[in-house]
Amino acid sequence: MLSHRSLSPRTRQRGLVAAAVVGSTLSLLVAAAGTSSAAPKPAKDPIPLGQGYMGAGYDIDSGNRAPSGHKAPSFGPASSAGGVQGIDVSHYQGSINWSSVKAAGISFSWMKATEGTSYKDPNFNANYLNSYNAGVIRGAYHFARPDVSGGAAQANYFASNGGAWSADNRTLPGVLDIEGSCYGLSQASMRTWISDFYNTYKSRTSRDIVIYTSPSWWSSCTGSWSGMSAKSPLWDAHWTTAANPTVPAGFPFWTVWQYTSTGSVSGVSGNVDRDKFNGTADRLLALANNTA
């Protein structure tokens, strides 16, 4: 059996996030039982503030995590073969050798910059600079927390703390990572929250925000809303060995596909999310530079 120390930082963090969510839910259930036997089932708790990462909500929502640990499938030949390959990272990957990542065939990466309006990933500055210097086309992502503040406030925080954009041949537009619970918002309110984030980010940077989400989250929390499909490129979270992902209803196609959370890449210690761009290297560069 693996010891806690032998697990990768990302695997340990998945366990900590799961324990925090389960512990909070159990506390609510105990409190409810003490007041009324007919108390309603509590809503799924959000990821603890500061502990979000790409796939944290999808991991729980899709049922890929069991009490014994994370059980996402490894990427298969259909997903990993060919195409423009990328990774997404946060401080849970630790120190990254970006020259090795580039030499391993990784063309692009998005990295966590912010969460809510108070948290900045401690490894963001190093990842953002070192990936650029290694020749990796890189961008920043924001882990959405609709339960703590409005979309406009979080877009401003993101744009001021790593999410800004420049036409320098290596910077991708920012990503809104929205997943996990619906944070107590109705579908209409969630649509408004996302619109406020989009409009504020666009005003600050001139770029359309990329939306990272899963089919189940988009259906449950926005009602399969089509209002962003003509404005925001979709980053589809669907861990599978199939040749193509399931696309959230409301979007016509995917631009980026996160196909596994258990990938491996030279230069990164332990598991890392693997991603694929839906197009050629020239089209990826056009997305970065906002050109036709």
Angle at CA 54, nearest 5°, toward 47 and 50?
A: 40
**Confidence band for 43, pLDDT divided at 50, 70 and 90:** very low
| 88 beta partners | 110, 273
* Residues 291/106, Cβ–Cβ less than 8 Å: no
How much of the chain, in percent, has pLDDT values that exceed 70? Answer: 77
Q: Where are the beta strands (DSSP E) in 133-292?
A: 137-143, 175-177, 210-213, 234-237, 256-263, 272-277
Q: What is the CB neighbour count within 10 angstroms for residue 243?
A: 10
Residues in Cβ contact with 58 at an 8 Å cutoff, skipping those fewer than 6 apart: 64, 179, 180, 214, 217, 237, 239
Question: In order of start, what are the domains of the chain with their CATH numbers?
Answer: 70-289 (3.20.20.80)
* pLDDT, the chain, mean: 85
Mean pLDDT of 186-202: 98
d(CA 276, CA 241): 13
Strand pairing report for 106-115 and 137-143:
parallel
Instruction: Decide if pLDDT at 256 tops 90.
Output: yes
* Angle subtended by helix axes 215-222 and 187-205, to nearest 10: 110
- Which pTM does this prediction carry? 0.84
Q: Which of 17-21, 37-41, 182-186 has the highest mean pLDDT?
A: 182-186
pLDDT at 64: 54
Q: What is the reported pLDDT for 248?
A: 97
| pLDDT of residue 32 exceeding 80 | no
Q: What pLDDT does residue 60 have? A: 75
Mean pLDDT of 16-42: 40
Q: Higher-confidence residue: 244 or 66?
A: 244
Query: In the beta sheet, which residues pair with residue 86?
Result: 108, 275
pLDDT digits (tens, 9 = 90+) for 141-182: 999 999 999 999 999 999 999 999 999 999 999 999 999 999
Catalytic residues: 88, 177, 179
Q: Is the pLDDT of residue 58 over 70?
A: yes
Q: Give pLDDT, residue 39.
A: 33
Query: Could you report the per-residue pLDDT of 69-92, keeping only the tens digit for each?
Result: 344 455 555 555 679 999 999 999
Phi, psi (degrees; rounded to nearest 5) at 35? -110, -35
Instruction: Please report the beta strands in the chain, taking only residues with DSSP state E, as ranges in sequence order.
Output: 65-66, 69-70, 84-89, 106-115, 119-120, 137-143, 175-177, 210-213, 234-237, 256-263, 272-277
Give 121-135 pLDDT, tens digit per residue.
999 999 999 999 999
